[in-house]
Amino acid sequence: MNEINKNSETPGTAFEAVQGMDLSGKVYLVTGAYSGLGAVTTRALLTAGAKVIVAGRNHKSQSDFVNELTANRSNHGFNTRLVDGSHILDLASLASVRDFAHYVSTNYDQIDCLINNAGVMNTPYGVTKDGFEIQMGTNVIGHFLLAKILADITKRQVWLSSAGHTLVGTPPGNHNNASAPRINLSAITEVDTNAYDGWKRYQQSKLGDILLAKQFAVEYPHLQTCAVHPGVVRTNLARHSSIWQILKYLVSFMFSSERLTTPDEGARTQTYCAVMPEEELVNGGYYADAAVSEEAEAARNMDDAKKLYDYCNEVTQPFQE
């Protein structure tokens, strides 16, 4: 078990995480970069002089975001050479992931950190273009392929997980480190559409992100990896939840120890982990509130981590060339 960091000097926002840093010459790749936590992380990295590859699936939204970032340098705009939003990335299409990754590997010698930020939550039943359950396919398998193709030129990976990986049942159900379900590979393709539970599939995907973060560090010894929990953040991620689900969750949330945070606050942990000195990062660790935290027992099962890695490697093999 990782030792939990009790450092009280951890940053309160993503911008505090890079305060005083000079990231000139470093390259970061952020998925889901033009909205929510990804947009905040992108802006924070740019303020410290880093180059950021912006990756999202909607061409217009990505173009608008890049134009906004670079529109007026005299009014806090960024140098256009620091923002690369030239290619889109649809994590629900392995062909799109392959093409995007090949663009990156062809044009960049090194990625200082790949931040696997994009994701979907509690969606209605659906499958990716390649037939995988939509949440596992997007949050886990798509990111796996991107991370695998770029592994040789990547120094660090940050995977966005969630306390949702500890969920037992459906919100406002229990979050329990000891009894949270283990990864179930058969549910990725063998889905009972009549009994589809978006929250259970979300739990599996966020668990999968932690397991892959741990296993990539094993498969590639040069890599530093970690997974993060951003907290409960005001973003549009809950757009697929019903009003009743949201109300039940808010009632439960009122009696929990967590508080609702802004995107600036929510992005602090992933930004902090992306820029942290090499000697300070706990490799394969799980971070929350910009400090090492304790993940569920299911997320520490390295046999499951290896099985999930091998499964993802097998089903994405045709797209790795």
CB 245 within 8 A of CB 302: no
**R_g of the chain computed on alpha carbons:** 18
Give which of 51, 2, 56 is closest to 27, Cα–Cα.
51
Find the farthest-apart pair of alpha carbons in the chain and give their distance in angstroms, rounded: 56
Q: Give the separation between CA 144 and CA 317, rounded to whole angstroms.
A: 11
Q: Give the separation between CA 192 and CA 307, rounded to whole angstroms.
A: 22
Q: DSSP 3-state assignment of 30? A: strand
Q: Give the separation between CA 216 and CA 309, rounded to whole angstroms.
A: 8
Q: Give the separation between CA 146 and CA 265, rounded to whole angstroms.
A: 27
Residues marked active site are found at: 202
Q: Give the separation between CA 140 and CA 221, rounded to whole angstroms.
A: 21
Q: Are strands 291-292 and 285-288 parallel, antiparallel or unpaired?
A: antiparallel
